[in-house]
Amino acid sequence: MNEIRIHEVGLRDGLQIEKQSVPLEKKVEWVEALLAAGVGMIQLGSFVNPERVPQMADSDKLFAHFGQAGRKPVTAVLSGLVLNEKGLERGMACGVDMFCMGVSASETHSRKNTGKGTDEAIGQIVAMAQAALKSGKRVQASIQSAFGCGFEGPMAPERVLAIVDRYLEAGIGNISLADTAGHAHPPQVEGLYGEIRKRDGKAELACHFHNTYGLGLANCYAAMRAGVTYFEAALGGLGGCPFTKVAAGNVCSEDLVHSLQRQGLAMEIDLDRLTETARDLGRFFGRELPGFILKAGSIVRFRKTP
């Protein structure tokens, strides 16, 4: 339980769907606030075609900024999403600490997201992951639409596990299941992660849930029971894949941290600072964000020890 880590993906997944352009200076300000709040793993952006996702056009510059000496704590990990070899080359050039890459279990979503079918994408991602690992980089390989797809409906566990097997055979030991469409429910989550644990008890497991149908936090707890230690979440509950059928926000970072801290977990994170950063995002976009702690406030500091 003490190994649980929050992987903040708001700067990437949270912003990629937003139409209002965020200046580089503002992104730098938000990242600095997250680091000051004690968030040790932050996804700064993705290396994708800026014509498809304009919000990510300055990812190289953002990584280069924080790659300068003294810009981030030595223990902090800055991750970036890559979809192809060109993206990997860009990430290598600007100092990404950990590469996040993956394929979709949904053939339809895969083609909309990357222009490739699942089988073709697997071969490409495995080769990229092995190249990054050989270069001394950390790699997290994901399976998108792992619990269901807005276009295709329920996803057969066997299809997801076949991709897991390919990753494990290739020596990729950090695996994330992404609930791109938000279809997951707790028993399904525990069951699928349990099957991965049977395959490799030493694998580092991560989860990425969207709150489309209100089950994001419940699914996080199901994942935790199944041995997952990395939890991806976004400030304010922002986000959503622009290439899925119903785009909805991620699990909200401050809501997740608040819930964990009520159990004495994730105590290294300054929840007040985290919440204020989420509040600043809301001010920037000029709307109320979906996070509950933003509205209700924290009760962690008032909790009495039994």
Residue 57's SS3 state is: coil
Both tokens of 74, joined, read 């030595």
**Known catalytic residue: 220?**
no
Both tokens of 278, joined, read 């989420």
Catalytic member of 94, 207, 220, 241: 241
Q: Phi and psi of 147, rounded to 5°?
A: -115, 0
CA gap 175, 181 in Å, rounded: 18
* Widest distance between CA atoms in the chain: 54
Both tokens of 123, joined, read 């071969």
Q: Which amino acid is at 278?
A: A
199 touches 155 (CB < 8 A): no
149 CB contacts (<8 Å, ≥6 apart)? 104, 105, 106, 108, 109, 155, 180, 181, 183, 244, 245
Both tokens of 255, joined, read 């809501």
118 CB contacts (<8 Å, ≥6 apart)? 103, 104, 105, 106, 107, 110, 163
Residue 252's SS3 state is: strand
Residue 110's SS3 state is: helix
CA gap 64, 46 in Å, rounded: 13
Catalytic residues: 241
